[in-house]
Amino acid sequence: MKRMLSGIKPTGRVTLGNYIGAIRPFVSYQDEYEMFIFVANLHSMTIYQQPAELRKNTKDLIALYIAAGLDPNKVTLFLQSDVLEHAQLGWYLGCLASMGELSRMTQYKDKVAKGEVIGAGIFNYPSLMNADILMYDPDYVPVGEDQKQHVELCRDIAERFNSRYSETFKIPEPLVAKVGGRIMDLQNPTKKMSKSEETSKGCIYILDDINVSKKKIKSAVTDSESYVHFDPINKPGISNLLEIYSTLTNRTIEDIEQQYVGKGYGEFKNDLAEIVGSELEKIQTRYKEITTGSYLDDILEAGAQKARFVARKKLAKVERKIGITIKKR
């Protein structure tokens, strides 16, 4: 079985973008791949998190993974902070990355451009992410479009390590869905839907009240025409809604366009609002069932054990190769 690995940061509430770009694809791969899926709580520390909120968001994210359909018996689900080896490998890999490479990462550049005061964690962010990935030798890393650049840097660093110290890491491939890899803000469809923007009208949260989520779809910005057609440059709003429709129904965009020939945006949006509402309702019902009791703690403990087993072996191998371990085998 080929292996996949991915993670999500527990910052803010989980969005429809996270669901369509990441969680839903994870669920669809779980029967075909050996999967490691984690909560990137160390990465969330790069921006201040109110401790009680961080705890809640972490718990919610694990619960939502499962509520969305990830089966803990098939997938190794864990918290990044439970596997200490990530931070250690992150240090070694950080020493292999150049300042130039790290400062070219869009996520870092955007923060600098906004003139925000940024911690060193944001700059070093990709090295920890490289460790998350390379630790497990995945064949694929399923992510949304915005994370592709990070996975590409990870490939470069893995190649650098392998050529300096001999073959150690598998070179991972980013896997970005053609449709749904970049869900846009409903009020500003030229901007990515993002959990860090608390402009909640343009962003649907998985735990939003169902009626609120429907309203957000119905009031999504479109254009002055009235035919449902996919054209991201000239009709970014409708194109974004078409991507949401297509991924949630597993239908092609062409097929959906056909269905709405001669019908206006109102009918299209009403139907999509129902589709989104019923998808969220399914997830929320299951979420309520699993957030009671100690079910999640048990899953995290079992997941951490499985992940640590792989991580310890890998880190020991790395440390032998680079000369940190002085004992002969």
| 114 is an active site residue | no
Catalytic residue among 9, 59, 111, 148: 111
Catalytic residue among 59, 170, 195, 235: 195
What's the rounded Cα separation, in Å, for the pair 278 and 206? Answer: 11
Which of 4, 12, 13, 18 is close enough to bind ligand TYM by CB under 6 A? Answer: 18
Q: How many CA atoms lie within 13 A of 102 on its CB side?
A: 18
Give the nearer residue to ligand TYM in terms of CB position, either 222 or 247.
247
Based on the shown chain and the rule CB under 6 A, indicate whether residue 7 belongs to the binding site for ligand TYM: yes
CB of 149 to ligand TYM, least distance (A): 10
CB atoms within 10 A of CB 142: 27
What's the rounded Cα separation, in Å, for the pair 157 and 153? Answer: 6
Which of 29, 60, 75, 132 is close enough to bind ligand TYM by CB under 6 A? Answer: 132
Catalytic residue among 9, 192, 214, 314: 192
Which of 37, 39, 79, 193 is close enough to bind ligand TYM by CB under 6 A? Answer: 193
Output DSSP code: residue 22.
Answer: I
Secondary structure element (H or E) that encloses residue 78, with its range: strand 75-79
What's the rounded Cα separation, in Å, for the pair 317 and 192? Answer: 39
Which residue has its beta carbon closest to ligand TYM? 21
Which of 13, 24, 155, 182 is close enough to bind ligand TYM by CB under 6 A? Answer: 182
* x/- track of binding to ligand TYM for residues 42-71 (CB under 6 A): -x----------------------------
Which of 9, 13, 24, 155 is close enough to bind ligand TYM by CB under 6 A? Answer: 9
Q: Which amino acid is at 273?
A: A
DSSP three-state, residue 192: strand
Phi/psi at 266 (5° precision): -60, -50
Residues 6+ apart with CB under 8 A from 218: 269, 270, 273
Return the residues of window 137-176 that contact ligand TYM according to CB under 6 A.
141, 143-144, 146-147, 150
CB of 107 to ligand TYM, least distance (A): 8
| 111 is an active site residue | yes
Residue-wise burial string across 50-74, b where 16 or more C-beta atoms lie within 10 A, e elsewhere = eeeebeebbbbbbbbbbbbebebee
| 201 is an active site residue | no
Residues forming contacts to ligand TYM in the complex (CB under 6 A) are 6-9, 17-18, 20-22, 40, 43, 129, 132-133, 141, 143-144, 146-147, 150, 181-183, 192-194
- What residues are labeled active site? 111, 192, 195
